[in-house]
Chain A
Amino acid sequence: MAKYILKRIGLAVATLLLIIFVLFVLVRIMPGNPFPSERMSAEQIANKRAEMGLDDPILVQFGRYMVNLAHGDFGKGTSLYYGAPITTVLTTCIFNSFRIGGLAILMGTTVGLILGITAALNKGHFLDHFCTVFSILGVCVPGYVFLIFLQYFFSYKMSVFPYFFDASRFLYSSILPALSLSLFTMSTVARFTRNEMVEVMDSDYVHLAESKGMYGSKLVTRHILRNALIPIVTVLAPLVVDLLTGALVIEKIYGINGIGKLMVDAIAGEGVDYNYVLALGILYSALYIGIMLVVDLLYGVLDPRIRVSAKEGDA
């Protein structure tokens, strides 16, 4: 098993390196100017390019970038946050996004699972229909529309929660954005849990368990949920990445200084900030690859059939 994990980690690193290279080249060959060009003269731009080494051959630039990256240095912004190291800015943004995203994942999966299980156990009855309607709404209504709706009621009408994000009152001001962010995950998890459980509940092995006298919560946790979870983990993984990397619009609306907002600023600011785009691209990819790795390993824990084939792959 250890060998299998090492192999997977090695593959993950290789994938990430390839992605960094492609991103690096793409950013440089795309049209657009890395500097706030409207405020700079041609001479200033030329100076700046020379200073940042942008006129060197692309492979030389890449080599230099990788050496810095190996030291944990993403460089400095070309147009954004003049002069501040990207690492510092990124840390603040990641902190905000991850905490709100984490809260959203927590709410989304727990509420989603509860809704899905309730629906499956009451298949065909009122609660099932209620959960279905809820999850269709949740998938259809964009999170930011829901956020505006929440702001209207809870901030404007009832003054329970603040209008905007406030880092000094973190938890209090994260509830509304986290809730709206979690809506999609919640609905997706609820729908999948319900469908998977209904399918598993009709399987021969659950009937066998029932015919030996299993019922109630023991039947659900030991036989039904365990088997239903395997496909749920698959849909959950990419959702988790989406939530962690922040929501572009929700962060903008709620004034959250997160990575979603940073991405928008880096691309749609006065210039396309090469280094920020690159740093964020690397972060997104690393997260995605990391979570997929965790999911693959989790499969092995949940499903013995996969565990064994992984062992065989070892030998």
Chain B
Amino acid sequence: MAEMNEKAILQFQDLDISFRTNAGTVHAIRGVNLDLQRGETVAIVGESGSGKSVTVKACVGLLDANATVNSGKILYRYTDEKGAQQVVDLLTLPKRELRRTINGSKIAMVFQDPMTSLDPTMTIGKQIMEGILIHKKADKAAARARALELLELVGITDAERRMKAYPHQLSGGMRQRVVIAIALASDPEILICDEPTTALDVTIQARILELIKDVQKRLGISVIYITHDLGVVAKVADYVNVMYAGKIIEVGNVNEIFYEPKHPYTWGLLAAMPDLETDDDRLASIPGSPPNLLHEPVGDAFAARNAFALKIDEKAEPPMFKISDTHYAATWLLHPDAPKVEMPTELVARLERARKEAEKYL
């Protein structure tokens, strides 16, 4: 089987996906590389339409029918019944095989909107048991016991009674807990959370994040977190991938991304976070909007919105420059011949404040 990073459990290699639409072909994912290691949390951040969701949907076989995978691999490493290490490319598995052997039992997913992600005609007990019954050789009673256990694990009180409830009888936060219970039903190794808190109000958000962190620690699973909320990233992630126009443009551990970001786009994202202590009353934002991927971008896709753009940005796409063993960024500013450009002073001051704030809690 294909070459795979020794330590990774899931590895995206040069993933390239396009969508056929009436307007033409949209090149949504343009070569994504991403590693996930056992037990760690990786976040993918980016604007709407940057390709975050498509990337993860590809690995659970939920791409829309008009999507084509042009190239790339999604390698997954698992231990088979005999205890041998196996590596499989999830993109080559037939759908049926993927559902039978991977979905739920190895890789599970939590969706964005708990109001729509539960089947309205089925009790939540049944929806949780369903996953257990397909993957484990368990009888109904055992599945039921396990479902009760899961409901308690995700913090639903009165689980016995809730088993018989229909989704519309529960609040949004409760439903998201149920969705998490469903995802955990067959002991997956990887949990993909696609903006799991976006549709919830702020107090519930914090609790759901705590829950996912707690579950991860207890069960030792790996988590991929998709979000556009950097506050969420700071709370949960070990590594951060910043995505722009179908590409990962900066990757690093959470400290590197938050305190020493190198890509102007990451600077923009960080500057756009609301902050109580900024002097300016207006909310900073990145000018313009992401490129339309119906037309293949020439050079750096971010160039048009980049105040620090160089001439070369309009001609050639920057490669990933290495900053440290874990920190890489795709911007020509990191090229040895590039003029020295520093982060905007406003942002530097702000990150400094954030660092001091964080130190108080250490």
- Measured between alpha carbons, how far is A22 from B12 in the docked complex, in Å? 72
Contacts A205-B119, A207-B117, A208-B179 given: A213-B134 contact, CB under 8 Å? yes
Whether the Cβ atoms of A223 and B119 lie closer than 8 Å is yes
Say whether A226 faces chain B, with CB atoms less than 8 Å apart.
Answer: yes
Whether the Cβ atoms of A207 and B121 lie closer than 8 Å is no
CB distance from B186 to the nearest CB of A (A): 7
**Binary contact track B139-172/A, C-beta < 8 Å → 1, others 0:** 0000000000000000000000000001011000
Residue pairs across A and B with Cβ atoms less than 8 A apart, 19 shown, are A203-B116, A204-B112, A204-B117, A205-B116, A205-B118, A205-B120, A206-B119, A208-B182, A211-B183, A212-B103, A212-B183, A214-B130, A215-B100, A223-B119, A227-B120, A227-B121, A304-B168, A305-B168, A308-B166
CB distance from B106 to the nearest CB of A (A): 9
CB distance from A60 to the nearest CB of B (A): 54
- Measured between alpha carbons, how far is A157 from B111 in the docked complex, in Å? 60
- Measured between alpha carbons, how far is A308 from B121 in the docked complex, in Å? 12
Partner of B120, one of A207, A211, A216, A303: A303
Partner of B62, one of A124, A203, A210, A216: A210
Whether the Cβ atoms of B62 and A215 lie closer than 8 Å is no
**Binary contact track B98-139/A, C-beta < 8 Å → 1, others 0:** 011011110011011100111111110000001100110000
4 nearest CB pairs, A to B:
A213-B104, A212-B104, A212-B131, A215-B99
Which chain B residues lie closer than 8 Å to A171 at the CB level?
none
Contacts A124-B65, A216-B96 given: A211-B121 contact, CB under 8 Å? no
Which chain B residues lie closer than 8 Å to A206 at the CB level?
119
Closest to A302 in B: B121
- Measured between alpha carbons, how far is A303 from B119 in the docked complex, in Å? 11
Which chain B residues lie closer than 8 Å to A212 at the CB level?
103-104, 108, 130-131, 134, 182-183, 185-186
Whether the Cβ atoms of A211 and B166 lie closer than 8 Å is no
Which chain A residues lie closer than 8 Å to B120 at the CB level?
205, 227, 303-305
Which residues of A are interface residues toward B (Cβ below 8 A)?
123-124, 203-216, 218, 222-223, 226-227, 302-305, 308
Whether the Cβ atoms of B117 and A208 lie closer than 8 Å is yes
- Measured between alpha carbons, how far is A210 from B121 in the docked complex, in Å? 16
Which residues of B are interface residues toward A (Cβ below 8 A)?
60-62, 65, 95-96, 99-100, 102-105, 108-109, 111-113, 116-123, 130-131, 134-135, 166, 168-169, 179, 182-183, 185-186
Contacts A212-B130, A213-B134, A214-B99 given: A227-B166 contact, CB under 8 Å? no
CB distance from A28 to the nearest CB of B (A): 49
Contacts A206-B119, A208-B179 supplied; 4 other A-B pairs, CB < 8 Å: A123-B65, A212-B186, A215-B96, A303-B121
- Measured between alpha carbons, how far is A203 from B115 in the docked complex, in Å? 11
Partner of A204, one of B65, B99, B116, B122: B116
Closest to A307 in B: B166
Which chain B residues lie closer than 8 Å to A308 at the CB level?
166, 168-169
Whether the Cβ atoms of A227 and B119 lie closer than 8 Å is yes
Which chain A residues lie closer than 8 Å to B65 at the CB level?
123-124
Closest to B101 in A: A213
Which chain B residues lie closer than 8 Å to A123 at the CB level?
65
- Measured between alpha carbons, how far is A215 from B96 in the docked complex, in Å? 7
Which chain A residues lie closer than 8 Å to B112 at the CB level?
204
Contacts A212-B131, A212-B182 given: A304-B121 contact, CB under 8 Å? yes
Partner of A213, one of B113, B131, B179: B131
CB distance from A62 to the nearest CB of B (A): 47
Which chain B residues lie closer than 8 Å to A124 at the CB level?
65
Whether the Cβ atoms of A226 and B121 lie closer than 8 Å is yes
Contacts A212-B103, A213-B100, A213-B186 given: A207-B119 contact, CB under 8 Å? no
- Measured between alpha carbons, how far is A188 from B318 in the docked complex, in Å? 56
Which chain A residues lie closer than 8 Å to B111 at the CB level?
204, 207-208, 211
Which chain B residues lie closer than 8 Å to A305 at the CB level?
120, 166, 168
Whether the Cβ atoms of A204 and B113 lie closer than 8 Å is yes
Closest to B168 in A: A305
- Measured between alpha carbons, how far is A75 from B130 in the docked complex, in Å? 60
CB distance from B128 to the nearest CB of A (A): 9
- Measured between alpha carbons, how far is A305 from B116 in the docked complex, in Å? 14
User: Taking each of A207, A216, A218, A302, which has the highest tally of chain B beta carbons within 10 Å of its own beta carbon?
Assistant: A207
User: Taking each of A205, A213, A216, which has the highest tally of chain B beta carbons within 10 Å of its own beta carbon?
Assistant: A213
Which chain B residues lie closer than 8 Å to A210 at the CB level?
60-62, 99, 103
Closest to A218 in B: B134
CB distance from B302 to the nearest CB of A (A): 31
Which chain B residues lie closer than 8 Å to A216 at the CB level?
96
Partner of B105, one of A209, A213, A215: A213
CB distance from A100 to the nearest CB of B (A): 34
- Measured between alpha carbons, how far is A241 from B182 in the docked complex, in Å? 43
CB distance from B335 to the nearest CB of A (A): 42
Which chain B residues lie closer than 8 Å to A227 at the CB level?
119-121
- Measured between alpha carbons, how far is A40 from B100 in the docked complex, in Å? 81
Which chain B residues lie closer than 8 Å to A214 at the CB level?
99, 130, 134
Which chain A residues lie closer than 8 Å to B61 at the CB level?
210
- Measured between alpha carbons, how far is A213 from B123 in the docked complex, in Å? 18
Which chain A residues lie closer than 8 Å to B182 at the CB level?
208, 212
CB distance from A112 to the nearest CB of B (A): 21
Whether the Cβ atoms of A211 and B96 lie closer than 8 Å is no
Which chain A residues lie closer than 8 Å to B60 at the CB level?
210-211
Which chain A residues lie closer than 8 Å to B99 at the CB level?
210, 213-215
- Measured between alpha carbons, how far is A210 from B119 in the docked complex, in Å? 12
- Measured between alpha carbons, how far is A124 from B65 in the docked complex, in Å? 9
- Measured between alpha carbons, how far is A237 from B56 in the docked complex, in Å? 43
Closest to B116 in A: A204
- Measured between alpha carbons, how far is A214 from B135 in the docked complex, in Å? 10
CB distance from B96 to the nearest CB of A (A): 6
